[in-house]
Chains A and B, each alone.
Chain A
Amino acid sequence: MSKFSKKRGKTSPAISTASLPDIIFMLLFFFMVVTVLRDAELKVKVTTPYATELTKLEEKSLVNYLYIGRPLVKYQSLYGTKPRLQLGDKFATTADIPLFLEKHKIKVPESRHGQITSSLRVDGEVTMGIVQDVKTQLRKSGQLKVNYSAKKDPKRSKN
């Protein structure tokens, strides 16, 4: 009799969940694409300093990482507390850098060798001595594109 008849009683309350897997798959693919599986476990403590004039490293495959910092507490009994260099997933000395760079180079197409960047992830508390040695070794190896890894300064933005 009334103009607005009750519909609630008639419709089935179940929402079709058939498209749920598709939605989940979409999310899944998104995360699969953005995921970078960490290939190296950090054995040194690295807290990069703040800076404002940052450039972003675009292609991950063209970047190799060199970590410099003090060994984590669990490695200190073996490696001491002096700042150390870590290449890949092990402690190294500057003498190991050329081989490390070469190993990364063979994974990159030859035409792009000039675009390889070394990302130096260095702890802020480390003194320049070891950083300088690494830099010298990089120069000797002809790896001149270097990125000093830093975080965006939350207090002082660029403008």
Chain B
Amino acid sequence: MAKTSARDRMTNEINAGSMADIAFLLLIFFLVTTTIVEDKGITVKLPPWSEEEPDITRLKTRNVFSVLVNAQDQLLVRGEIMDVNRLREKAKEFIANPYNREDMAEKPTKAIISLKNDRGTSYKAYLEVYNELKAAYNELWDEMSLRKYGIPYSEDMPFAYRKTIRDEIPFVLSEAEPTSFGEE
């Protein structure tokens, strides 16, 4: 008469009936804490810091597309007051210079966009202007890509294609030190 050990008496199965409940609990916890954050934005490469101011005067005026934004979020583009809605089209015209006008960029590689804002400019207005200028380049790249390769410009296209386009129309945006008329 051997004693039946405790192990023999135990059934080898664990009751898994409550497993679903536990899983539900965890599921609800993660459902509640989840924030699928939309992490999108305009990516910018800042220039390295240098003490001396870059000298913009040695550039030909025809190659510089100056955009000034004041503390009232008004725009002055190449000496004229402009609405932000027209900025993209104007910038495109300036960079591509389809009619070879004397007062626009000699060629896209020489075009420089100079952006200057005030310390009182609202961030919204600044970003809107930046967005329009970036959009102008994006549209030009798109057009060129379609003309050359028949596909729209995107980050997924072959690197060689992108490089050719970027070499032909480089994104040059120089930001000057802001003025400080309208600091709150």
Contacts and interface: CB of A to CB of B under 8 A. Distances in A.
Q: Does chain A bind chain B?
A: yes
A132 B130 contact: no
A114 B25 CA distance: 41
Interface residues of A, number: 56
A148 B40 contact: no
A49 B123 contact: yes
A86 to B, nearest CB: 15
B39 A123 contact: no
A11 interface: no
B23 interface: yes
Interface in B95-136: 117-124, 126-128, 130-131, 134-135
A3 B135 CA distance: 71
A136 interface: yes
B33 interface: yes
A66 interface: no
Interface in A93-131: 117, 119-120, 122-129, 131
Given A31-B27, A152-B40, A132 B178 contact: yes
A132 B178 CA distance: 8
A90 interface: no
B30 A146 contact: no
A126 B19 contact: no
B43 A147 contact: yes
Given A139-B48, A140-B49, A148-B44, A24 B30 contact: no
A95 to B, nearest CB: 15
B46 A146 contact: yes
A38 interface: yes
Contact of B183 (A63, A68, A127): A127
B11 to A, nearest CB: 17
A125 B34 contact: no
B47 A144 contact: yes
A7 to B, nearest CB: 29
A148 B127 contact: yes
21 contacts: A21-B20, A28-B23, A31-B34, A54-B40, A54-B42, A55-B41, A57-B40, A123-B123, A124-B122, A124-B127, A127-B184, A128-B123, A139-B47, A139-B48, A142-B48, A143-B46, A144-B48, A146-B43, A148-B44, A149-B39, A150-B127
Interface of A: 17, 20-21, 24-25, 27-28, 31-32, 34-38, 48-49, 51-57, 60, 63, 68, 82, 117, 119-120, 122-129, 131-132, 135-136, 138-140, 142-152
**4 A-B pairs closest in CB distance:** A129-B119, A124-B124, A31-B30, A24-B23
Interface of B: 16, 19-20, 23-24, 26-27, 30-31, 33-49, 71, 117-124, 126-128, 130-131, 134-135, 138, 155, 178, 180, 182-184
